[in-house]
């Protein structure tokens, strides 16, 4: 029996079966075609291990790649038609494209995508603030970090820096944004260990100034009687009428009607959204407040002071013109907090002035509603609540006024009428 390799009509060459006719064998396609050597190809092209290679220097760096082309007629034609530099540039570009599709997202790319994909539960202003804090605070601190570089020590150092720069509430927001992005990255296997789970990070606390707190009557008396200048007027309107801080910054002199003793709330100004005219969703920035005579006298004195802005009411001496440069946060940080420290009162945020106003107005014999009760305009608690809702800009029937702003723990129920009279005697010249 004839073995396969002994058959003159069949030869096995390099695992390829070649069929012959008669006693004459046929070579493979590779050996049949004319193959070229390095000397036959243009400069920069060479033949090695049966394939064409290209060599060139790009920007001072030498590159050498195999083209996976054999040195046949077609391969030679390719070399003649394409410069070696362009061939290598194309190879480099293709490699980068492949690497980009295979590499994980950068911290910046991932963070922005996370904030976008989770934005559905946030208001547009909040989303804008989240993105701003990520780009301005978190990203610059961790610039150049790969995912493997994040560690508890660096995260803790960052949080301490935020703690020293911002209020507790603001620093906590930065922490939550950062922690949520990292938590998502751990879930997506970009990070092995979550640095926020480490004790040195978990144990970092931030001062809590709950919006549930309100200043007591005694504290309000000290604040309103010991403050001076424009800050006295600012705090008077904030604490007595509960005007939002963003509305205070947006208050114009044209909104003050001295003839009818009215303050017309028409807009708000925030860093996130700029000028907001009228109402914005669930917040009413369009309402009228009948002010006390004492408040109007303070406003008249302030208006007569030529040092202040001619359009907007509250701009400290030396401030730039226009509404956008100065925010309620600036007033809080640079004026209100230092003032409270000076007079020895615990800081509860400037926004708590709104809680204080609501609390005093909803307490019998206290607050702005006290004058209405004296004149017989309010004869029961129900009317008092309606009046307070209007003053705060809450909708009719809203439970926010009582559930969120009214803080009875701030009210001393002993001798309420006496305290109310004392407060108004100090604030209103002819109150008795």
User: Which residues 6+ apart lie within 8 Å of 432 measured at CB?
Assistant: 421, 425
Listed in order, strand segments (DSSP E) in 332-398 are: none
Q: Is the distance from CB of 277 to CB of 268 less than 8 angstroms?
A: no
b (16+ CB within 10 A) / e for 2-35: eeeeeeeeebeeeeeeeeeeeeeeeeeeeeeeeb
Residue 56 forms part of a structural domain: yes
Residue 212 forms part of a structural domain: no
Q: Is the distance from CB of 247 to CB of 267 less than 8 angstroms?
A: yes
Residue 210 forms part of a structural domain: no
Does residue 182 surpass a pLDDT of 90?
yes
Residues paired with 62 in a beta bridge: 57
166-175: long-range contacts, CB 8 A cutoff, minimum separation 24: 167/207, 167/209, 167/332, 167/333, 167/349, 168/206, 168/207, 168/208, 168/209, 169/206, 169/208, 169/209, 169/349, 171/206, 172/206, 173/129, 173/133, 174/133, 174/137, 174/138, 175/204, 175/206
User: Looking at per-residue confidence, does 117 or 121 come out higher?
Assistant: 117
- Give the pLDDT of residue 161: 93
Residues 176, 206: Cα–Cα separation, whole Å? 12
Residues paired with 267 in a beta bridge: 277
Does residue 338 surpass a pLDDT of 90?
yes
Residue 102 forms part of a structural domain: no
208: pLDDT confidence band, cut at 50, 70 and 90? low
**Structural domain boundaries enclosing 154:** 107-202
Question: What is the tens place of the pLDDT at every residue in 41-62?
Answer: 999 999 988 889 999 998 888 8
Give the CATH number, domain containing residue 111: 1.10.150.130
Give the CATH number, domain containing residue 336: 1.10.443.10
237: pLDDT confidence band, cut at 50, 70 and 90? very high
Does residue 251 surpass a pLDDT of 70?
yes
Residue 250 forms part of a structural domain: yes
Residue 353 C-beta-side C-alpha neighbours within 13 Å: 25
Per-chain mean pLDDT for the chain: 75
Q: Is the distance from CB of 285 to CB of 279 less than 8 angstroms?
A: yes
Q: Is the distance from CB of 220 to CB of 410 less than 8 angstroms?
A: no
Residues 301 and 387 in one domain: yes
Residues 43 and 146 in one domain: no
- Give the pLDDT of residue 46: 93
User: Looking at per-residue confidence, does 274 or 409 come out higher?
Assistant: 274
- Give the pLDDT of residue 3: 42
Q: Where is mean pLDDT largest: 17-21, 34-38, 65-69, 254-258?
A: 254-258
Residues 225 and 366 in one domain: yes
- Give the pLDDT of residue 4: 37
Residues 66, 213: Cα–Cα separation, whole Å? 73
User: Looking at per-residue confidence, does 361 or 183 come out higher?
Assistant: 183
**Tokens coding 93:** 């570009």
**Tokens coding 151:** 């560690």
- Give the pLDDT of residue 385: 58
What is the C-alpha radius of gyration for the chain, rounded to an integer number of angstroms? Answer: 38
Q: Is the distance from CB of 174 to CB of 162 less than 8 angstroms?
A: yes
- Number of domains the chain is built from: 4
Does residue 393 surpass a pLDDT of 90?
no
- Give the pLDDT of residue 10: 32
Pick from 73, 96, 119: which residue ends a domain? 96
Does residue 249 surpass a pLDDT of 70?
yes
Residues 84 and 152 in one domain: no
Question: What is the tens place of the pLDDT at every residue in 88-106?
Answer: 998 888 877 665 555 678 9
Residue 195 forms part of a structural domain: yes
413-420: long-range contacts, CB 8 A cutoff, minimum separation 24: 416/363, 416/364, 416/365, 416/366, 417/365, 419/217, 419/366, 420/365, 420/366, 420/367, 420/370
Strand 279-280 with 51-58, pairing? unpaired
Phi, psi dihedral angles at 233 (to 5 degrees): -65, -45
Residues 174 and 275 in one domain: no
DSSP 189-200: TS-SS-GGGSHH
Residues 181 and 277 in one domain: no
Q: Which range is least confidently modeled, 188-202, 219-233, 253-267, 411-425?
A: 411-425
Residue 400 forms part of a structural domain: yes
Mean pLDDT calculated for residue range 119-144: 89
How many other CB atoms sit within 10 Å of the CB of residue 268?
26
198: pLDDT confidence band, cut at 50, 70 and 90? very high
Residues 233 and 376 in one domain: yes
Pick from 177, 202, 227: which residue ends a domain? 202
Residues 319 and 244 in one domain: yes
Does residue 400 surpass a pLDDT of 70?
no
Residues 249 and 304 in one domain: yes
Does residue 352 surpass a pLDDT of 60?
yes
388: pLDDT confidence band, cut at 50, 70 and 90? low
Residues 223 and 340 in one domain: yes
Residue 305 forms part of a structural domain: yes
DSSP for residue 409: G
Q: Is the distance from CB of 329 to CB of 271 less than 8 angstroms?
A: yes
How many other CB atoms sit within 10 Å of the CB of residue 357?
27
Does residue 86 surpass a pLDDT of 70?
yes
**Residue 217 belongs to what H/E stretch?**
helix 217-226
**Residue 165 belongs to what H/E stretch?**
helix 152-165
Answer left, alpha or beta for residue 183, where phi above 0 means left and psi between -120 and 50 means alpha.
alpha
Residues 234 and 166 in one domain: no
Mean pLDDT calculated for residue range 176-191: 93
Residues 227 and 332 in one domain: yes
DSSP 75-122: HHHHHHHS-HHHHHHHHHHHHHHHHHHHSPPPHHHHHHHHHHHTGGGS
């Amino acid at each position: 029996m004839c073995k396969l390799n002994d058959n003159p009509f069949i030869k096995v060459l390099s695992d390829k079966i070649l069929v012959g006719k008669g006693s004459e064998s046929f070579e493979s396609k590779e050996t049949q075609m004319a193959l070229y050597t390095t000397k036959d190809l243009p400069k920069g092209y060479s033949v090695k291990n049966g394939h064409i290679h290209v060599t060139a220097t790009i920007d001072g760096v030498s590159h050498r790649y195999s083209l996976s082309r054999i040195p046949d007629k077609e391969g030679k034609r390719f070399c003649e038609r394409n410069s070696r530099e362009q061939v290598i540039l194309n190879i480099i570009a293709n490699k980068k494209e492949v690497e980009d599709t295979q590499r994980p997202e950068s911290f910046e790319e991932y963070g922005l995508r996370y904030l976008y994909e989770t934005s559905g539960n946030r208001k547009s202003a909040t989303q804008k603030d989240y993105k701003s804090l990520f780009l301005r605070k978190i990203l610059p601190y961790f610039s150049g970090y790969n995912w493997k570089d994040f560690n508890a020590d660096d995260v803790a150092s960052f949080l301490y820096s935020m703690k020293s720069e911002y209020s507790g509430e603001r620093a906590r927001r930065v922490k939550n944004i950062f922690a949520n992005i990292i938590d998502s990255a751990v879930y997506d296997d970009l990070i092995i260990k979550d640095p926020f789970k480490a004790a040195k990070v978990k144990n970092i606390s931030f001062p809590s100034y709950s919006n549930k707190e309100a200043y007591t009557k005694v504290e309000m008396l000290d604040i309103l009687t010991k403050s001076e200048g424009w800050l006295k007027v600012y705090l008077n309107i904030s604490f007595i009428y509960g005007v939002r801080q963003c509305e205070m910054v947006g208050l114009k002199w044209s909104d003050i009607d001295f003839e009818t003793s009215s303050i017309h709330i028409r807009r708000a100004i925030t860093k996130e959204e700029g000028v907001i005219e009228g109402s914005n969703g669930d917040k009413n920035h369009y309402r009228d407040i009948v002010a006390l005579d004492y408040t109007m006298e303070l406003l008249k004195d302030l208006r007569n002071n030529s040092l202040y802005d001619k359009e907007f009411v509250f701009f400290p001496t030396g401030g730039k013109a226009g509404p956008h440069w100065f925010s309620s946060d600036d007033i809080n940080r640079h004026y209100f907090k230092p003032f409270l420290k000076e007079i020895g009162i615990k800081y509860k945020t400037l926004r708590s002035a709104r809680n204080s106003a609501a609390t005093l107005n909803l307490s019998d014999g206290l607050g702005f509603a006290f004058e209405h009760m004296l004149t017989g305009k309010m004869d029961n608690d129900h009317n008092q609540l309606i009046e307070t809702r209007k003053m705060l800009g809450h909708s009719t029937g809203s439970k926010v006024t009582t559930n969120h702003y009214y803080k009875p723990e701030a009210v001393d129920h002993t001798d309420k009428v006496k305290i109310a009279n004392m407060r108004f005697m100090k604030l209103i010249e002819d109150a008795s």
